[in-house]
Structure 1
Amino acid sequence: MATYRSVFDAAELRAQLNDAGINTKFMASIWKYVLQNPGCELGEIPDLPSSAYRLLRTKFKPFTSTVHSVFHSTDGVTTKLLIKLQNGAFVEAVIMTYDTRLGKYGGKPRLGGPRSTLCISSQVGCKMGCKFCATGTMGFKNNLTSGEIVEQLVHASLLTNIRNIVFMGMGEPLNNYTALVEAVRVMTGSPFQLSPKRITVSTVGIIHAINKLHSDLPGLNLAVSLHAPVQEIRCQIMPSARAFPLEKLMTALQTYQKNSQQKIFIEYIMLDGMNDEEQQAHQLGKLLETFQVVVNLIPFNPIGSSSQFRTSSDQKVSDFQKILRGTYNIRTTVRKQMGQDISGACGQLVVNLPDKRTRENTSLLTDIEDLRI
């Protein structure tokens, strides 16, 4: 069976158009038409050079992935999409919806209204093996193409208007670096026009990729899954940390921040008795006190009855936050948990195919991250 490339695979589409002597300016109009007409055939796209139609018909498809199932959380704010890829593998993407009018900011009511954030996967499975993450139990299967990454945004956009993107789904984004860069460039160009400031890439700390990320994707938000303030604990819960020593990682982050002049988001999962004591709060504060950061404390989401970790108590999380804020003046938030009932919360993304009863069109609209508030 012939294998087609996604029409949203920018590098491949650009190369094929160039080889055929067709102006690449038509790429944006091709994407716009497919976005507006998701069930279309590529031959229906108007106003292309005649030579473009044969190329599109023989090499590309509007979508190489399909939405297999949609799950809606009972809270009405999280939606998980189970997406089937052309090779038969599955990935998950999660939509989280927030109402920015709820709560206050700086003592004043917030402006705005509902907005949605999409959590995108970059790989099938993951080779990092973080012990608190369900995706790590899958092992690594394969990288997604840039088109398959962008298609997650297209599928989600058919359900709701997506304002923010976080690469915090399945996989380590910086281990699929070329496809990540290509996908983000598509998302920030026409017709998607997302601001780089509304796109966040999360990494466990792939140092060589962090060193070139700002020059390739300026303005992007960087989030680092730190999860421990000392190398020994990091290695216990994140085996990949052995390849990325904490001291070298912090040096890379200093350089990144100097070049980008942007805050860095620090993700810190709260594991009872492992990394949530007052001593570790002070160690983390001292590690980060020279940086401009936002620390996001993440309550651990159980990934099965056999998990070796327990969730930190609310009191421990609160005490940890108070030390970072009060002693070190580090902006610290606690992530609101969304979509736990559909295994759509942080660390819970692992492909479990639903049975026929749960495959029905259950709706799901939930947001995954609120890093910029």
Structure 2
Amino acid sequence: MSESKKSSPYKSVFDSLVLRAEFEQAGINTRFIPLIWKFVLQNPNCKWDEIPSLPSKAYSLLPSKFRPFTSTLDSAIDSTDGVTTKLLIKLQNGAFVEAVIMRYDSRLGKLNGKPRPGGLRSTLCVSSQVGCKMGCTFCATGTMGFKNNLSSGEIVEQLAHASRLSTIRNVVFMGMGEPLNNYSSLVEAVRVMTAYPFQLSPKKITVSTVGIIHAINKLHQDLPNCNLAVSLHAPVQDIRCQIMPAARAFPLEKLMNALKDYQKNSQQKIFIEYIMLDGVNDGEQQAHQLGKLLETFEVVVNLIPFNPIGSLSRFTTTSDDNVLTFQKLLRNTYNIRTTVRKQMGQDVNGACGQLVVNLPDKRSTKSSDFLTDIEDLRI
């Protein structure tokens, strides 16, 4: 049996449900769990007996079933502009996933004619699966096929690894995989991320989906106050099916009804992701169709310039002029807030749609080789 197919002998200490169940069965108070997480975050290479003041039963239980980290940071590669870092993370089963740190300065630009408040912040794009079964034709991850789901601990460990390199304020589930196809791990991972010691705000976490209707129907109840982003990418069903094979299982009309119910229950804006494919979905006709589809919703449309993925793609990038025309139509005709995503990390294949595991040439696997000025970016 190959290394990637072996069952994992140990669980991540960040697999909250498993750890809690083991503690309860052993009669160990679960209030020690957040303290263990804090110590592990501060001491990632620690031994279990180095954690102070735990019950004696915990010192025998933890090494028998858990590891502080079941994954390792294989490499961290900076983009040339220094604002994006792609992390290659090796899992316990031998597989790899990617996560991307994106650094922003929220003070740039104006707000109501005045300097914007805030400062430097980092967003982490995390993966929920190894590969993806959705098969979107414009996305490199889809070419990998589906390998396996990540455990909640493996998802949280991406945040733990990234937190050693930058102070993470936002998390987006827009990496490898369809998050809502790994629903239970997604929900548990977010609950850990918003608990002590991570303490991320649910409002700073965004879950992206191609439109898994049955999961959207329960998302607000399970993860209140988190943001929902929908990878729509086309305003009509036939175009969606051409570029997103999974759309056949989730008809556009039923998806929009699910989003209507979600918005009614959550009272939150929905983010609409729309990748711009030249000659496919970027014309004025599609802009009007999209505007009419969304005009009764409270949404923010995020137009995403297509990122080339070499010989794997038959698509080309929409011109800047066409993107702006599309944006103006949505804004001016339908009064829909519409943004254009800033491209980050293209040179390290860390931009939207480019995440596919290609092992680096090992010029360096130490994050410190790439991140000498990371202290300047901390908040």
- Establish whether TM, by shorter chain, passes 0.5: yes
Q: CA separation in 1, counterparts of 2:234 and 2:148?
A: 28
The normalised TM-score by structure 1 is: 0.96
Task: Please show how residues 34-49 of structure 1 align to structure 2 within 5 Å.
Answer: 34-49=40-55
Distance 1:230 1:291 in 2: 17
Partner of residue 164, structure 2: 158
> 1:102 & 1:350 partners in 2: Cα distance?
31
Q: Tell me whether 1:330 sits opposite 2:336 in the alignment.
A: yes
Tell me, yes or no, if the aligned pair for 1:73 and 1:364 is still in contact at 8 Å.
no
Output the TM-score relative to the length of structure 2. Answer: 0.95
Residue identity matched to 2:125:
C
What is aligned with 1:111? 117
Aligned equivalent of 1:363? 370
The residue number in structure 1 matching 2:327 is 321
- Any idea what the Cα deviations from partners look like across 1:254-303, whole Å, max 9, x if unmatched? 00000000000000000000000000000000000000000000000001
- The alpha-carbon deviation at position 363 of structure 1 amounts to 2.1
The structure with the largest helix share of the pair is 2
Aligned-partner Cα distance in 2 for 1:4–1:296: 40
Q: Residues of 2 paired with 1:139 and 1:169: CA distance?
A: 14
Residue by residue over 1:197-251, the C-alpha shift from the partner in whole angstroms, topping out at 9 and shown as x without a partner, is 0000000000000000000000000000000000000000000000000000000
Structure 1 vs Structure 2 CA RMSD: 1.2
Distance 1:364 1:171 in 2: 27
Distance 2:299 2:75 in 1: 37
Deviation at 1:106, TM superposition (A): 2.7
Aligned length: 365
2:314 is aligned to 308
Task: Report the AA paired with residue 99 of structure 1.
Answer: D
Matched, 1:187 2:193: yes
Which amino acid in structure 2 is aligned with residue 100 of structure 1? S
Separation of aligned partners in 2, 1:334 and 1:317? 8
Aligned to 2:21, which of 15, 39, 55? Answer: 15
Structure with more contact order per residue of length (Cα contacts < 8 Å, sep ≥ 6):
1
Q: For the Cα contact (< 8 Å) 1:35–1:154, is it kept in 2?
A: yes
Alpha-carbon separation, structure 2, partners of 1:155 and 1:14: 22
1:133 aligns with 2:121: no
Where do 5+ consecutive residues of structure 1 fail to align? Answer: 366-373
Secondary structure class of the residue paired with 1:291? coil
How far does the alpha carbon of each residue in 1:120-164 deviate from its partner, in whole angstroms, 9 at most, with x for none?
000000000000000000000000000000000000000010000
Distance 1:43 1:120 in 2: 31
| 1:249 aligned residue | 255
Q: What is the aligned partner in structure 2 of residue 225 from structure 1?
A: 231
1:289 equivalent in alignment to 2:309: no
> Which residue is equivalent to 1:368?
none
Measure how far apart 1:357 and its partner are. 2.6
Equivalent residue runs for 1:55-66 within 5 Å: 55-66=61-72
Q: Which runs of 4+ in 1 moved over 6 A?
A: none
Following the alignment from structure 1 to structure 2, what is the Cα–Cα distance between the partners of residues 35 and 6? 13
Higher mean C-alpha deviation, range 156-165 or range 98-107: 98-107
Match of 2:376 in 1: none
Q: What is the Cα deviation at residue 354 of structure 1?
A: 1.0
Between the aligned residues of both structures, percent identity stands at 78
On the 8 A contact 1:100/1:112 being kept in 2, the answer is: yes
Aligned match of 1:234? 240
Q: 2: distance between equivalents of 1:177 and 1:159?
A: 28
Separation of aligned partners in 2, 1:41 and 1:116: 30
Question: Is residue 2:14 matched to residue 1:31?
Answer: no
The C-alpha deviation readout for 1:173-205, integer Å capped at 9, x for no partner, is 000000000000000111111100000000000
SS in 2 for 1:229: coil
For residues 201 and 306 of structure 1, the distance between their equivalents in structure 2, rounded to whole angstroms, comes to 26
In 2, distance between residues paired with 1:355 and 1:243? Answer: 39
Structure 2 gap segments, 5+ residues each: 1-5, 373-379
Query: Aligned match of 1:353 in 319, 342, 359?
Result: 359
